[in-house]
Amino acid sequence: MTDARDRPQITLVTPPELELSGFPDALARCLDAAPVACLRLALSTRDDDRIGRAADALREVAHARDIPLVIESHVLLVPRLGLDGVHLTDAARSVRKVRKDLGDEAIVGAFCGASRHDGMTAGELGADYVSFGPVGATPLGDGRRAERELFEWWSEMIEVPVIAEGALDEDLVRSLAPVTDFFAFGAEVWAAEDPAARLAALAAAMG
């Protein structure tokens, strides 16, 4: 293990739908409850006006705390909305083009499911990080999970930072903390009655 992997960091993922009248305050409470390294805007809507208004509101909250804001999938909105980068969901397929389009300063991450091959390819093509998941059991998707062995191998063999995400709980966090660089928490936090307290509890489980 390298020193960089001694303690993971947190990426906080927004819910797919949010109400701008109250969510920025809830977000601020979360960002103040635990150290967050990156915020990911992951809305289900394809209405660019709604996405833009959400990005403006959340960017203000995140940047006030020196936390970068990346957006899921919508590459063209990164420069237009003054965002820090993009989280791609199509494994390694877009990494090369997006890196060229956005330049070296932008954050470019790639979600690669449970595929070691896709993760390695994404890293080779210029991804700043690779994300694997879901880690926990979920009724969604095709049933494949990113097992601990994948993260063990990655942490020993690959220098590109890795994120564990999907259906996480404290036990999984404790198990994976020694072999991942980041945890991405989303639904695990926002489904709780007190999201800030839930995020703090998950952060505490990282050790």
Contact 86, 73 (CB under 8 A): yes
Mean pLDDT of 26-55: 98
Closest CA to 175 of 144, 151, 140, 192: 151
Asked if pLDDT for residue 151 goes beyond 60, the answer is yes
Q: Which residues contact 21 (CB under 8 A, 6 or more apart)?
A: none
The per-residue pLDDT of the chain, averaged, comes to 96
What are the pLDDT digits (tens) for 28-38?
999 999 999 99
Name the one residue in this structure whose structure tokens are 């920025």: 24
pLDDT band at 205 (very low <50, low <70, confident <90, very high): very high
Q: What is the CATH number of the domain that holds 175?
A: 3.20.20.70
Asked if pLDDT for residue 4 goes beyond 70, the answer is no
Mean pLDDT of 74-89: 97
What's the predicted TM-score (pTM) here? 0.96
How large a percentage of the chain has pLDDT more than 70?
98
pLDDT band at 1 (very low <50, low <70, confident <90, very high): very low
C-alpha pair distances (Å), 131 with each of 52, 110, 135, 146, 165 = 25, 6, 11, 10, 7
pLDDT band at 49 (very low <50, low <70, confident <90, very high): very high
What are the pLDDT digits (tens) for 136-145?
999 888 889 9
Range of 52's domain? Answer: 3-204
How many domains does one find in the chain?
A: 1
What's the confidence (pLDDT) of residue 127? 98
b/e code 55-74 from CB counts within 10 Å (16+ = b): bebbbebbeeeebbbbbbeb
What's the confidence (pLDDT) of residue 142? 85
pLDDT band at 2 (very low <50, low <70, confident <90, very high): very low
Mean pLDDT of 185-191: 98
What are the pLDDT digits (tens) for 96-140?
999 999 999 999 999 999 999 999 999 999 999 999 999 999 988
DSSP string computed for 102-119:
H-SSSEEEEE-TT-HHHH
Name the one residue in this structure whose structure tokens are 């980041």: 182
- Give the integer Cα–Cα distance in Å for 40 and 85: 9
Mean pLDDT of 8-12: 98
